[in-house]
Amino acid sequence: MHKIIFMGTPNFAVEVLDGLVKNPDLEVVAVVTQPDRPVGRKKVLKPTPVKELALEHDIKVFQPEKIRGSVEVEELKALNADLIITAAYGQFVPVDLIEAPKYGAINVHASLLPKYRGGAPIHYAIWNGDKETGISIIYMTKKMDAGDILSQHAIEIKATDDVGGLFESLAVIGKELLLETLPALFDGTIQATPQVEEEVVFSPTISKEQEQIDWSLTAQEVDNHVRAFRPFPSTYTILDGNRVKIWGGKPVNYLGNTVEIGKVVAVENNMIIVQCGNETYYGINEWQESGKKRLSIEQWLNGNKPEDIIDSVFENKK
């Protein structure tokens, strides 16, 4: 039986950890995850999803605020694990810890590396209009997401996919691909492939400024943006000085006669039709006005009239 240290934090990592603890050939001897964080108005400390699963299985949990230089590194080394597996852990793992186990450390990354090294690969794949994404199992090195590739699995990005749905799909694929890869890793028959540096693309952490919609883009690009940020961190626009979250919509055909970017030109088929760049139109079908509940436009029209919004202009991103 091989001894595993698992490092991960969100729901994506839970699926992977669940696959490891159910495998009779593996023993998860420790889990490393981010510290509990305060949530809600009462700031109640909440454990990470990975910690909750680890405790259900009586696995020892480590939660250093910053693992590099922490006392936990030596404690983890002392466990003499055969392999470290990481999945969306959220911190750089020190090299001496990576190199301690017999088989080193590997990472389950939600991308088709070398495209989208970094912490937001699924967001950028949808946002950029990519046709596919996937999972890469790679060796960990001191350089972020730069290790040799052990295995990959690609899936299509459909026109209606958002980041929330793809996170769930890729978590399952990541678990399955990892469990398929481990036997070949342990018996030494796997062939790792170096990443092509000329093809590297990065996916840095999403900033607050990136959440605002740029209506000068085409309707398809706006749609990519909304789906890439749904349900987190979400997109917004500004109307009369107030922030309005845009939760859903799609590019639509419309015969308009205006070129004013961000202008509401019509309300049709329970959608608010907005002028975008290159003479294209985006139909909003779900939004959330400031201080109010998230509503479909059909629900919104139960208490409002189309003329309340037609000819309004959403502030464009500066």
pLDDT in tens, 257-285: 767 999 999 999 999 999 999 999 999 99
CA distance 49 to 286: 29
H/E run at residue 281: strand 281-289
**Structure tokens of 171?**
């978590």
The answer on pLDDT for 48 being more than 90 is yes
Query: Which residues contact residue 167 at a Cβ distance below 8 angstroms, ignoring those fewer than 6 apart?
Result: 11, 12, 110, 122
Helix 11-21 × helix 49-56 angle, to 10°: 20
Cis bond leading into 233, ω under 30°? yes
Closest CA relative to residue 264, chosen from 238, 283, 285: 283
Cβ atoms 222, 282 nearer than 8 A: yes
Using the structure block, give the residue that is written with the tokens 């794949």. Answer: 125
Tens digits of per-residue pLDDT, 114-140?
999 998 999 999 999 999 999 999 999
| Interval 217-244: pLDDT, tens | 999 999 999 999 999 999 999 999 999 9
pLDDT confidence tier of residue 41, bands split at 50, 70 and 90: confident
- Dist CA 12 CA 88 (whole Å): 7
Phi-psi region of 254 (alpha: psi -120 to 50; beta: other; left: phi over 0): beta
pLDDT of residue 13: 96
Residue 317 pLDDT grade (very low, low, confident, very high; cuts 50, 70, 90): confident
pLDDT, residue 310, reads 95
Q: Which helix (H) or strand (E) holds 105?
A: strand 105-109
Pairing label, strands 115-117, 149-156: unpaired
DSSP single-letter state for residue 263: B
Q: What is the pLDDT of residue 139?
A: 97
**Residue 127 amino acid letter:** W
Cβ neighbours of residue 80 under 8 Å, at least 6 residues apart? 3
Of the pLDDT bands very low, low, confident and very high (cuts 50, 70, 90), residue 171 is very high
Question: Which helix (H) or strand (E) covers residue 284, if one does?
Answer: strand 281-289
Distance, CA of 49 to CA of 303 (rounded, Å): 39
pLDDT of residue 133: 98
pLDDT of residue 259: 77
The answer to whether residue 76 scores a pLDDT higher than 90 is: yes
